[in-house]
């Protein structure tokens, strides 16, 4: 039976897209390590062999997985296939999974729950974001990954899966509000893709389970500060003008 | 003249446009329009093409769109120039961008309705 208080974080790093997930999942892993044992497999360590070895030796209750994917496939470092709808996902029986990978919510996510995973968070669309700078300095990308990390952070704090989903949705809303109120020329583009990801986010399985021992007092964190919002209606007006002109 | 049923009620083209503007019952309205041969999608293609052209005219460093899909038609990074190209081609990636753009329009309609 998977061990409560143990997490596996798999965060490949091999192209421009994975740079962002790798960076932000590093933050989530660091936060999780305050309350859980975390097997943090990054870059060249994010392989199928290491993933499977950790499932056996660490037996984590929580798996936070990044990688390229599609409706039936999840892959890790260098697009090495880790699991498919009909092969490999049985290893997630009894676990809570956050699968940050495109379109896995179409078939792989629900299939994984049908095979016995407790809960799977995933996306029924291609997960997309907008960026210009490198991950630590990019203001556009930040909100996308903070909304995803809101799930893992809430779980680490002892929240149940349904609450983690709600917190993530609230984080999406706050960031969408922020960008709607922004006079950044590309704000509408950020909002467009945030809405896309928010609406494509799915929770399959049990909404009442947690990754840390029952009764553990939740630790309150200060959310990563969303910059001070401009007046909402002003921003919305600007955005509409940018769409209509 | 009513042309379709939305939420169990016959609606006129004017009411349909109002619902689209407000982002209400989007899928039902779109389906009703489509069944009546009034598919709004061609108009949205024109809008999204104009949208990306406008974005390309803006000053400063241009953001890219990133995707972590496996076996995608395009690479993992879509520049604004590429986005416009896919929209003009109306290929899979262009259709994906159109869908997210329609989501933006729907959200804006809902929010304008909420704050009206």
Q: How far is B55 from chain A (nearest CA, A)?
A: 7
Q: What per-residue confidence (pLDDT) applies to B75? A: 45
User: A231 — phi, psi (to 5°)?
Assistant: -55, 130
Distance from the Cα of B47 to chain A's closest Cα (Å) equals 9
pLDDT for position B38: 65
Q: How confident is the model at residue A234 (pLDDT cuts 50, 70, 90)?
A: very low
Distance separating alpha carbons of residues B108 and A191, to the nearest angstrom: 10
State which residue of chain A sits closest to B72, comparing Cα positions.
Answer: A70
Q: How far apart are CA A101 and CA A65, in angstroms?
A: 8
pLDDT for position B43: 83
Domain ranges of chain A: 3-244
Task: Quick: pLDDT tens for A174-210.
Answer: 999 999 999 999 999 999 999 999 999 999 999 999 9
Q: Which residue has the tokens 């009513």?
A: B2
pLDDT band at A227 (very low <50, low <70, confident <90, very high): low
Q: What is the pLDDT of residue B37?
A: 66
Confidence (pLDDT) at A244: 45
Give the pLDDT confidence score for residue A230 in this predicted structure: 45
Asked if B69's CB is within 8 angstroms of A69's CB, the reply is yes
> What's the whole-number average pLDDT of chain A?
88
Q: Average of pLDDT values for A96-106?
A: 90
Going by the DSSP 8-state scheme, the letter that residue A36 receives in this structure is: S
Asked if residues A152 and A32 have their Cβ atoms less than 8 Å apart, the reply is yes
Write out pLDDT tens, residues A3-39.
Answer: 999 999 999 999 888 999 999 999 999 999 999 999 9
Residue B31 phi, psi (nearest 5)? -65, -45
Q: Does B64 touch chain A (CB under 8 A)?
A: yes
- Residue A226's pLDDT is 59
- What pLDDT shows up at residue A242? 55
pLDDT score for A15: 86
Closest residue to B100, CB basis, from A16, A79, A193: A193
Give mean pLDDT, residues A152-178: 96
Other beta carbons within 10 angstroms of residue A45's beta carbon come to 18
Residues of chain B in contact with residue A199, where contact means CB-CB under 8 angstroms, are 103
Query: Which neighbouring-strand residues pair with A122?
Result: A202
From A188-202, B71-85, B100-114, the region with the lowest mean pLDDT: B71-85
- Considering the entire predicted model, what is its pTM? 0.82
**Phi, psi for A85 (deg, rounded to 5):** -55, -40
Domain boundaries, chain B: 4-35, 41-115
Residue of higher predicted confidence among B63 and B115:
B63
- Do A185 and B76 make contact, defined as CB atoms within 8 angstroms? no
Restricting to B residues 26-45, those with a Cβ less than 8 Å away from any Cβ of A are: none
User: Could you tell me if A215 lies within 8 Å of chain B, comparing CB atoms?
Assistant: no
Question: Binning pLDDT at 50, 70 and 90, where does residue B80 land?
Answer: very high
Q: Considering chain B, what percentage of its residues have pLDDT values greater than 90?
A: 31
Contact between A24 and A149 (Cβ < 8 Å)? yes
Taking one residue from A and the other from B, the number of pairs with CB-CB distance under 8 angstroms is: 109
Q: Which of residues 64-103 of A touch B (CB under 8 A)?
A: 66-70, 73, 75, 79, 100-103
Predicted local distance difference test score (pLDDT) of residue B113: 74
Is domain A3-244 annotated with CATH 3.40.50.1460? yes
Question: What pLDDT does residue B73 have?
Answer: 40
Instruction: Judge whether residue A222 has pLDDT over 70.
Output: no
| Mean local confidence (pLDDT), A227-244 | 49
Task: Please list every residue in chain A whose beta carbon sits closer than 8 Å to the beta carbon of residue B66.
Answer: 16-17, 20, 128-131, 141
**More confident: A68 or A186:** A186
Q: What is the ipTM of this complex?
A: 0.83
User: Does B69 lie at the interface with A, CB-CB under 8 angstroms?
Assistant: yes
Q: Which residue has the higher pLDDT, A104 or A11?
A: A11
Please, which pLDDT band fits residue B5 given cuts at 50, 70 and 90?
Answer: confident
């Amino acid at each position: 039976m998977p061990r409560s208080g143990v997490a596996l974080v798999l965060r490949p790093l091999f192209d421009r897209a994975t740079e962002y997930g790798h960076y932000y999942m590093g933050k989530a892993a660091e936060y999780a390590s305050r309350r859980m044992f975390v097997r943090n497999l990054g870059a060249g360590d994010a392989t199928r062999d290491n993933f499977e070895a950790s499932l056996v030796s660490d037996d984590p209750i929580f798996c936070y997985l990044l990688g390229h994917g599609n409706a039936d496939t999840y892959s890790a470092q260098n697009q090495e296939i880790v699991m498919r709808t009909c092969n490999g996902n049985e290893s997630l029986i009894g676990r809570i999974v956050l699968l940050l990978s495109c379109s896995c919510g179409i078939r792989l996510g629900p299939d994984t729950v049908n095979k016995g995973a407790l809960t799977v968070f995933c996306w029924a669309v291609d997960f997309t974001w907008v960026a210009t700078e490198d991950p630590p300095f990019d203001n556009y990308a930040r909100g996308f990954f903070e909304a995803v990390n809101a799930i893992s952070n809430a779980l680490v704090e002892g929240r149940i899966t349904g609450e983690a989903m709600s917190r993530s949705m609230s984080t999406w809303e706050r960031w969408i509000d922020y960008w709607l109120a922004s006079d950044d020329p590309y704000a509408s583009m950020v909002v467009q893709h945030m809405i896309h990801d928010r609406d494509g986010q799915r929770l399959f399985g049990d909404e009442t389970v947690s990754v840390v021992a029952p009764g553990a007092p939740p630790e309150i964190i200060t959310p990563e500060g969303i910059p001070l919002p401009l007046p909402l209606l002003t921003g919305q007006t600007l955005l509409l003008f940018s769409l209509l002109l | 003249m009513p042309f379709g049923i939305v939420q169990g009620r016959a609606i006129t083209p004017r009411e349909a446009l109002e619902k689209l503007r407000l982002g209400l019952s989007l899928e039902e309205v779109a389906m009703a329009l489509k069944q009546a041969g009034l598919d709004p999608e061609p108009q949205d293609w024109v809008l999204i093409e104009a949208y990306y052209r406008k974005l390309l005219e803006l000053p400063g460093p241009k953001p890219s769109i990133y995707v972590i899909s496996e076996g995608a038609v395009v690479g993992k990074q879509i520049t604004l120039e590429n986005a416009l190209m896919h929209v003009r081609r109306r290929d899979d990636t262009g259709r994906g961008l159109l869908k997210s753009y329609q989501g933006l329009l729907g959200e804006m309609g809902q929010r304008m309705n909420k704050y009206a």
